[in-house]
Copies of this chain bind each other. A is one copy, B any other.
Amino acid sequence: MKPIAEIFSQGEEIVCGQTVDSNAAWLSQQLVELGFTLKRHTVVGDNLHDLIALFSEIAERADCCICTGGLGPTVDDLTAEAVSAASGLPLQFDEQAFAHIQQYYACRNRMMPPANRKQAMLPHSSLRIDNAYGTAPGFALPFKRCWFVFLPGVPSEMKQMFDALVRQQLQQHFPLQPDGLVTLRSIGIGESAIQQSLDDMPLPDDVQLGFRAAPDEVQTKLLFPSGFPEARKQACVADVAARIGDYVFAIDGLNEKQGDLLEVVAAAMSEKRYSLALLETASQGQLAAKCLGRDWLTRVEINLDWGRTAGSWQAGPGAGDCLQIARVWAEQLKAQSQTDFALVQLYSSSTNDYQDKDKPLVLYNAMATPKGVVATQLNAHGTLKHKQNQAALLALDLLRRYLQNKCL
């Protein structure tokens, strides 16, 4: 039997709907992958009575509960107080937690407000969980049947603490037998197209197939029960990958983690010491912004006039024109910037069509490489923001395909 887990989120902004509780989904995924059975999520506001009641309820019915929020310095942050009241463990001043909070302010040349001292008060005998990104330390403690873990509600802090410390603590605390989850990560193909390509594929009965459409990619998930033979697993994953085709940019969970599209591209660019110059139109800086901190990107141009130019042509530019211009500009940019690659990203939709969520954005990407120029025509759909993001990612995907020997 897998241990039963719950997620408990605290905050008026969540219970009143100003903030979508994306922490609960992220944490649930991590716990499912670790080998827990997820039974319930609960959200309440900053109310001491409700918090105490919830901690007591959950303590009776779950083996593990990850709680987020309520660890801040303000009067409406009540988690530690409520835990103390529910469990009977008094709050104690934790010197190391306090030193950490002071250091956080010292690094920023700011005075620590007196209110922050409260964040160093932790329930007696609890396990402190250091927060490398903020002032609020987390903590963990057993209460009745349940192992409670308390983390801040700020997603970046919460995720960093879970990855750095909590995941390993849970693995030590519980005898977990995780299912083997393999995720095939793809871009440029939709969920239903993937589903169709797998329709007639015979999957073993004990292997679960699932899909997830994220903003930056579509994930195809295969859940293998613990103890599933490795060779059969490898063969099954290879079969699924072949059916989806070269839209797959990474496979996580089989060997090492490969990461998202940018991570896959960055690893290859850094390893080969390649350099890239970039010209953006439709994505308007989005791709350059994503590449912050990657030193293989050495030059960026943003052409805001392209949309106005292309939009003013009598009948709109044809696909052939756009692809030809993209090819010529890519070669020019590569020569001017003396990089290994030059990527040019154009489009042919008018401003109105770009902004209309029911009309596609037609993208033309060209890339000058050491072996010649490669170009593609693709469509992006949805809201303005979604099209912009797709334009950035699909341009980057052209570079990924070259680096993985999938084009030229």
Residues on A facing B (Cβ under 8 Å): 12-22, 24-32, 38-45, 47, 50, 72-74, 76, 107-109, 113, 115-116, 132-133, 154, 156, 191-193, 195-196, 210-214, 280, 283-289, 291-293, 295, 297-302, 304, 351, 354-355, 357-360, 379, 381-386, 388
Contacts and interface: CB of A to CB of B under 8 A. Distances in A.
Given A16-B29, A286-B289, 11 more contacts: A15-B40, A16-B32, A17-B25, A18-B210, A18-B212, A20-B22, A21-B25, A40-B44, A108-B379, A284-B288, A286-B292
Contacts of A360: 107-109
A355 B47 CA distance: 39
Contacts of A25: 14, 17-21
B115 A195 contact: yes
Contact of A288 (B16, B26, B295, B302): B302
A383 B24 CA distance: 22
Contacts of A357: 132-133
A66 to B, nearest CB: 11
User: Top 9 nearest A-B pairs by Cβ distance?
Assistant: A285-B285, A17-B28, A285-B288, A17-B29, A41-B43, A285-B289, A286-B289, A17-B25, A300-B302
A41 B14 contact: yes
A356 to B, nearest CB: 10
Contacts of A21: 20-21, 24-25, 41
Nearest to A30: B17
A38 B21 CA distance: 15
B18 A27 contact: no
A303 to B, nearest CB: 9
Given A41-B43, A357-B133, A285 B300 contact: yes
B44 A32 contact: no
